[in-house]
Structure 1
Amino acid sequence: MPRNRRPVDRGEKLDEIVVAAADLFTEVGFEESSMAKVAAAAGVTPTTIYWYFADKDALLVAVLERLLTEALEESAAHADDAWVDQMLWAVERLERYSKLVTVVHARCAISPVIDAWHSDFHSLMDTLLAHGLSRSGVAADDLEAMTRISVFVVEGLLTHPLEPAERRSIIEAVSRPR
């Protein structure tokens, strides 16, 4: 049973639920984390979660938005790093959430809310990748193809982890001006 606590405003309660869900989804797994488990971890009733989220997919999108916002804020500290180092940092950052990457790809076909988030995420990443590749010297004519290849490389590195030296070598090859 949830513990009695002081009254919490709506935004704070929402944050507590999203943080609890993020922890469970990344540590235990999305499928294994029922709404009841999320509620227990957040110290609320399952009904309370449904006041904030239509379903588990909507909660997952809130978790993804929170993680993306945090990552973008952290990435600002790496803005002056070499492009290869920025890419390596991003891959390492995403590795923490590899379970969620797999879940998002699997659920896109059955969840319109996750599919929409995924499409928006890729649009943002395509823009960021194209900018970084352009700054690293990739010709404008090659940017679209190199951006797509970079997405495949990042997703491949997340699903098939390599040693740091191998990872760096691949990212350097993709980032090299043609």
Structure 2
Amino acid sequence: MTQPNTRKDSIDKSEQIFQGAIGEFLEKGYAGTSMDKVAAAAGVSKATVYSYFQDKEGLFKALVARMARERFYLVFGTESLQGEPEVVLRRLATKLLDRIARDREYLAFMRLVVGESGRFPDLAQELIRNIVHPGIKELSGYFASHPELKIADSEAVARIVIGGLVYFVLTQEVLQGKEIMPMERDRLIDSLVALLIG
């Protein structure tokens, strides 16, 4: 008789819970989602959900961290930023705008976090801690290692770059503004690279 693979079973159960949770949070918002509803959507018992997550806030924070890791990997990949600045910046901006802007689940999740941020600031801070901060740190380190760019404050410029790209996604996709103030992705990327490279 073979022993069950408890680690694999544990991963499968947590994945079930995450899948159930994301659907509930996106449909009902943070306040409208209960652990009972998550358990039902995930097809597991409420006790199983609580065996993995202490409470709804813990589940939501774990979900934010998980989505952040996945999206960070999609944009920055396994390799650190390496290569000529023009190529690296163009590749980074293209990846961020292409992959994030087309990720409907992630955009819906962003709307949820922004919408709930006034009532639940700790949850919004999880997004900053797990997505924005690592991206800025990575890009800031890259700028600091390239003195030829003549950037006096690498962190401030990294914030400007990431902020500009996030703002583009926010206004075009999250807030549905592409019909009101349309702009082609490549036009934004070309201008951003020109500003930094000179």
TM over 0.5: yes
Decide whether the 8 Å contact of 1:17 with 1:39 is kept in 2: yes
Q: Deviations over 1:54-112 (max 9, x none)?
A: 33332222222222222333442786764223222123332321122233234444436
Q: Deviations over 1:26-73 (max 9, x none)?
A: 5x3634654333222211133432332233332222222222222333
Matched AA of 1:151: I
**Tell me, what secondary structure is at the counterpart of 2:184?**
helix
Q: TM-score, normalised by structure 2?
A: 0.65
Decide whether the 8 Å contact of 2:90 with 2:193 is kept in 1: yes
Instruction: Quote the Cα distance in structure 2 between the aligned partners of 1:105 and 1:139.
Output: 35
Instruction: Quote the Cα distance in structure 2 between the aligned partners of 1:22 and 1:148.
Output: 29
Instruction: Quote the Cα distance in structure 1 between the aligned partners of 2:78 and 2:128.
Output: 26
Residue 124 of structure 1, aligned match among 134, 144, 149: 134
Does the alignment pair 1:99 with 2:108? yes
Decide whether the 8 Å contact of 1:146 with 1:174 is kept in 2: no
Bigger shift: 152-161 or 110-119? Answer: 110-119
Decide whether the 8 Å contact of 1:30 with 1:100 is kept in 2: no
**Tell me, what secondary structure is at the counterpart of 1:141?**
coil
Does the alignment pair 1:170 with 2:184? no
Bigger shift: 108-117 or 93-102? Answer: 108-117
Instruction: Quote the Cα distance in structure 1 between the aligned partners of 2:158 and 2:151.
Output: 11
**Tell me, what secondary structure is at the counterpart of 1:140?**
coil
Q: Deviations over 1:97-152 (max 9, x none)?
A: 112223323444443642442342332121123245566x6433153332222232
Decide whether the 8 Å contact of 2:151 with 2:157 is kept in 1: no
Does the alignment pair 1:21 with 2:21? yes
Question: Could you tell me the percent identity over the aligned residues?
Answer: 23
Decide whether the 8 Å contact of 2:25 with 2:33 is kept in 1: yes
Instruction: Quote the Cα distance in structure 2 between the aligned partners of 1:92 and 1:56.
Output: 32
Q: How far off its partner does 1:23 sit? A: 4.6
Q: Which structure is larger by alpha-carbon Rg, 1 or 2?
A: 2
* Count of residues in Structure 1 that have an aligned counterpart in Structure 2: 172
Gaps of at least 5 residues in structure 1 are 1-5
Instruction: Quote the Cα distance in structure 2 between the aligned partners of 1:20 and 1:44.
Output: 9
Q: TM-score, normalised by structure 1?
A: 0.71
Distance 1:64 1:170, change over 3 A: same
Decide whether the 8 Å contact of 2:65 with 2:127 is kept in 1: no
Q: Which residue of the partner structure matches residue 155 of structure 1?
A: 166
Gaps of at least 5 residues in structure 2 are 173-177
Distance 1:25 1:128, change over 3 A: farther
Distance 1:151 1:49, change over 3 A: same
